[in-house]
Amino acid sequence: MATKLAAFRLPEEILEIIEALAKDKGTDKTAIVTEALRLGLSALQSGEVVIQRKQPLSVEEIEAIVDKKIEEKLGELAA
């Protein structure tokens, strides 16, 4: 799959989560962000997740969502 460089500004707390997940999973930050975006966008498209507010999610909310989705995906891959 072809990739393109995209630059985003992220809250420091989110970047710290991405870095920690990459280290814990033994992968790079791009892989973590790509998979999190795929899972998040899929959930938004399916209606599983609905954005109902304009304020950003808390770090704890993001961690819970990302952890759940990554564990689900790892479970699928292990099966």
Q: Cβ distance 28 to 19 under 8 Å?
A: no
What pLDDT sits at residue 62?
A: 86
pTM of the model: 0.62
74 is a domain residue: yes
Q: Label residue 77 by pLDDT band (50, 70, 90).
A: confident
20 is a domain residue: yes
4 is a domain residue: no
Query: The domain containing residue 29 runs over which residues?
Result: 12-50+58-78
6 is a domain residue: no
64 is a domain residue: yes
Give, to the nearest 10 degrees, the angle between helix 59-78 and helix 29-46. Answer: 90
pLDDT in tens, 4-60: 999 989 999 999 999 999 999 999 999 999 999 999 999 999 988 888 777 778 888
Q: What CA–CA distances, in Å, run from 34 to 46, 47, 55? A: 18, 20, 23
CA atoms of 24 and 21, how far apart (whole Å): 5
Domain count of the fold of the chain = 1
1 is a domain residue: no
What pLDDT sits at residue 24?
A: 94
Mean pLDDT of 61-66: 88
